[in-house]
Amino acid sequence: DGGITQSPKYLFRKEGQNVTLSCEQNLNHDAMYWYRQDPGQGLRLIYYSQIVNDFQKGDIAEGYSVSREKKESFPLTVTSAQKNPTAFYLCASRPGLLSGDGYTFGSGTRLTVV
């Protein structure tokens, strides 16, 4: 079955650490996205990518970094510069950036600072 796989499901970060969240899709989608979800808030866009080796900042990119070396993969690194990283992180994809279609989401990674 085609879909998006996010790993790990739960992740714990110590103060000052960088951590990387994995997102892999086998839908042959060009466009991929990272969102942050906090309780009572909507989905906030962190980064998105239209094509391999290209990505754009979203609304809350500070303290995060991404790479897009392969079409299937769009990992998100939460750096130590992100002061409040505890949240639920969602990866999504769709056929193309200029696609008038909805997203396919992964099952999410819950990141907690310890």
Which residues lie near another protein (CB under 8 A)? 4, 6, 40-43, 45, 48, 56, 58, 90, 92, 97-108, 110
Nearer to another protein, 79 or 105 (CB): 105
Q: How far is the CB of 106 from another protein (least distance, A)?
A: 5
Closest of 15, 2, 3, 1 to residue 107, by C-alpha: 3
Nearer to another protein, 73 or 79 (CB): 73
Nearer to another protein, 13 or 44 (CB): 44
Q: How far is the CB of 80 from another protein (least distance, A)?
A: 26
Nearer to another protein, 41 or 53 (CB): 41
Q: How far apart are CA 59 and CA 55, in angstroms?
A: 13
Task: Return the structure tokens found at 3.
Answer: 């879909």
Neighbours of 48 (CB within 10 A): 22
DSSP-assigned beta bridge partners for residue 58: none
Question: CA 56, 62, 68, 73: dihedral to nearest 10 degrees?
Answer: -120
Q: How far is the CB of 58 from another protein (least distance, A)?
A: 8
